[in-house]
Structure 1
Amino acid sequence: MKEFSIKALAQIIKAKFDTRYSMLDARISRHTSDERQATGDDFFTGVSTDSRTVKACDCFFALAGENFDGHNYMADAFAKGAVCAVVNKNRVTDAAQRGIVLEVDDTLKALGDFAGEYHRQAGYKVVAITGSAGKTTTRQIAYHVLSQYYGVYQSPKNFNNNIGLPLTLLGADPEDKIVIAELGTNHPGEIAYLTRVAQPDIAVITNVHPAHLEGLGDIQTVAQEKLSISEGLQPDGILIINADLVNRLNCQLPVTNYRVLTFGTSDDCDYKISNIKYESFSSSFTMDKTQVELPLPGPGNVENAAAAWAVCSRFGLTIENFSQAVKTLKTVSMRMEVIQIGTLTVINDCYNANPASMKNALEVLKNLCVEKKCRSVFICGDMAELGQQSETLHAELGAAIVKAGVQVLLTVGKLSKITAEAAEKAADYDIQIKCFDDTISTCNNLQQLIKDYDIILVKGSRIAKLELIIEKFKTHDFVTGFVTLKDEKKR
Structure 2
Amino acid sequence: MLPLSLRQIAAWVRGQLHNAVGSETVTGVSTDSRTVRRGELFVALKGERFDGHAFVADAAQKGAVAAIVQRLLPLTLPQIVVADPLRALGELAAHYLHHLQSQSAFHIIAVTGSSGKTTTKTMIAAILQAVMPTVVAPESFNNEIGVPLTVLQLELHHRAAVLEYAMRKKGDITYLCRIAPPDIAVITNIGTAHIGLLGSRQAIAEAKAEILGGWQLAPNSDPYDFAAIAVLPADDDFAEFLRQRAKGKVITFGFAPTAEVRGLDCCVDWDGTTLTATDGKQTVTVRLPTWGEHNARNALAALAAAKAMGIDWAVAAEALARFAPPKMRWQRQWLEPPGCWVINDAYNANPDSVKAALRTLKALPAPRRVAVLGEMLELGAFHEQGHYEVGQVAAETVDLLIVVGDGAKAIVDGAVAAGMPADCIVTFASVAETRKRWRQLLRAGDVVLLKASRAVGLEHLLNNGVRSEGGSPEPPTNGRKP
TM-score, normalisation: structure 2: 0.90
Aligned residue number for residue 94 of structure 2: 116
C-alpha spacing 1:308/1:484, structure 2 compared with 1 (3 Å)? closer
CA RMSD of aligned residues (A): 2.3
| CA displacement 1:446-474 (0-9 Å, x = unmatched) | 23211111111111111110011122452
Aligned residue number for residue 220 of structure 2: none
CA separation in 1, counterparts of 2:227 and 2:187? Answer: 18
Q: What is the CA-CA distance between 1:134 and the residue it aligns to?
A: 0.7
Equivalences for 1:154-165 in 2 at 5 Å? 154-165=136-147
Per the alignment, in what secondary structure is the counterpart of residue 278 of structure 1? Answer: strand
Instruction: Report whether the alignment pairs 1:358 with 2:354.
Output: yes
CA separation in 2, counterparts of 1:109 and 1:445? Answer: 47
Aligned residue number for residue 30 of structure 1: none
| CA displacement 1:368-424 (0-9 Å, x = unmatched) | 1xx33x1111100110110111011111111011121x1111111112122112212
Q: Unmatched 5+ residue regions in structure 2?
A: 215-223
CA separation in 1, counterparts of 2:227 and 2:207? Answer: 21
Report the structure number with the largest CA radius of gyration: 1
Per the alignment, in what secondary structure is the counterpart of residue 272 of structure 1? Answer: strand
Q: Which of 370, 376, 390 in structure 2 is aligned with 1:383?
A: 376
Contact 1:443 1:472 in 2 (8 A): no
Contact 2:235 2:255 in 1 (8 A): no
Aligned residue number for residue 250 of structure 2: 260
Per the alignment, in what secondary structure is the counterpart of residue 273 of structure 1? Answer: strand
Contact 1:294 1:326 in 2 (8 A): yes
Contact 1:62 1:107 in 2 (8 A): yes
Contact 1:283 1:293 in 2 (8 A): yes
Aligned residue number for residue 332 of structure 1: 326
Aligned residue number for residue 9 of structure 2: 9
Aligned residue number for residue 92 of structure 1: 72
Instruction: Report whether the alignment pairs 1:50 with 2:32.
Output: yes
Aligned residue number for residue 21 of structure 2: 24
Q: Which of 276, 286, 296 in structure 2 is aligned with 1:286?
A: 276
Instruction: Report whether the alignment pairs 1:395 with 2:388.
Output: yes
Per the alignment, in what secondary structure is the counterpart of residue 115 of structure 2? Answer: coil
Q: Which of 431, 442, 448 in structure 1 is aligned with 2:434?
A: 442
Aligned residue number for residue 28 of structure 1: none
Equivalences for 1:171-210 in 2 at 5 Å? 171-210=153-192
Contact 2:182 2:227 in 1 (8 A): no
| CA displacement 1:141-185 (0-9 Å, x = unmatched) | 111121121111111110111111111111224422111111001
C-alpha spacing 1:101/1:444, structure 2 compared with 1 (3 Å)? same
C-alpha spacing 1:415/1:446, structure 2 compared with 1 (3 Å)? same
Aligned residue number for residue 31 of structure 1: none
Per the alignment, in what secondary structure is the counterpart of residue 53 of structure 1? Answer: coil
CA separation in 1, counterparts of 2:256 and 2:124? Answer: 22
Instruction: Report whether the alignment pairs 1:367 with 2:363.
Output: yes
CA separation in 1, counterparts of 2:78 and 2:359? Answer: 56
CA separation in 1, counterparts of 2:120 and 2:472? Answer: 34
Equivalences for 1:106-255 in 2 at 5 Å? 106-123=84-101, 124-231=106-213, 234-235=225-226, 237-245=228-236, 247-248=237-238, 250-251=240-241, 253-254=243-244
Instruction: Report whether the alignment pairs 1:411 with 2:403.
Output: yes
CA separation in 1, counterparts of 2:205 and 2:466? Answer: 39
Per the alignment, in what secondary structure is the counterpart of residue 451 of structure 1? Answer: coil
Instruction: Report whether the alignment pairs 1:75 with 2:57.
Output: yes
Amino acid at match of 1:73: F
Contact 1:424 1:431 in 2 (8 A): no
| CA displacement 1:67-121 (0-9 Å, x = unmatched) | 1111111111111111111111xx21212x1x21111111111110110111122
Q: Which of 324, 328, 344 in structure 2 is aligned with 1:348?
A: 344
C-alpha spacing 1:174/1:431, structure 2 compared with 1 (3 Å)? farther
Aligned residue number for residue 317 of structure 2: 323
Amino acid at match of 1:455: V
| CA displacement 1:177-213 (0-9 Å, x = unmatched) | 1111110011111111111111111111011101111
C-alpha spacing 1:256/1:413, structure 2 compared with 1 (3 Å)? closer
C-alpha spacing 1:484/1:142, structure 2 compared with 1 (3 Å)? closer
Per the alignment, in what secondary structure is the counterpart of residue 457 of structure 1? Answer: strand
Contact 1:439 1:469 in 2 (8 A): yes
Amino acid at match of 1:7: R
Amino acid at match of 1:377: V
Amino acid at match of 2:231: I
Q: How many residues align?
A: 456
Aligned residue number for residue 412 of structure 2: 420
CA separation in 1, counterparts of 2:64 and 2:156? Answer: 21
Q: Unmatched 5+ residue regions in structure 1?
A: 26-40, 476-482
Q: What is the CA-CA distance between 1:427 and the residue it aligns to?
A: 1.6
Q: Which runs of 4+ in 1 moved over 6 A?
A: none
Question: Which segment is superposed worse, 282-291 or 383-392?
Answer: 282-291
Contact 2:212 2:245 in 1 (8 A): no
Amino acid at match of 1:110: A
CA separation in 2, counterparts of 1:379 and 1:267? Answer: 35
C-alpha spacing 1:447/1:270, structure 2 compared with 1 (3 Å)? closer
Q: What is the CA-CA distance between 1:230 and the residue it aligns to?
A: 1.2
Q: What is the CA-CA distance between 1:234 and the residue it aligns to?
A: 4.4
CA separation in 2, counterparts of 1:3 and 1:10? Answer: 14
CA separation in 2, counterparts of 1:453 and 1:108? Answer: 49
Aligned residue number for residue 32 of structure 1: none
CA separation in 2, counterparts of 1:81 and 1:199? Answer: 32
Q: What is the CA-CA distance between 1:426 and the residue it aligns to?
A: 1.7
Q: What is the CA-CA distance between 1:224 and the residue it aligns to?
A: 0.8
Contact 2:110 2:186 in 1 (8 A): yes
Contact 1:234 1:258 in 2 (8 A): no
TM-score, normalisation: structure 1: 0.88
Contact 1:335 1:351 in 2 (8 A): yes
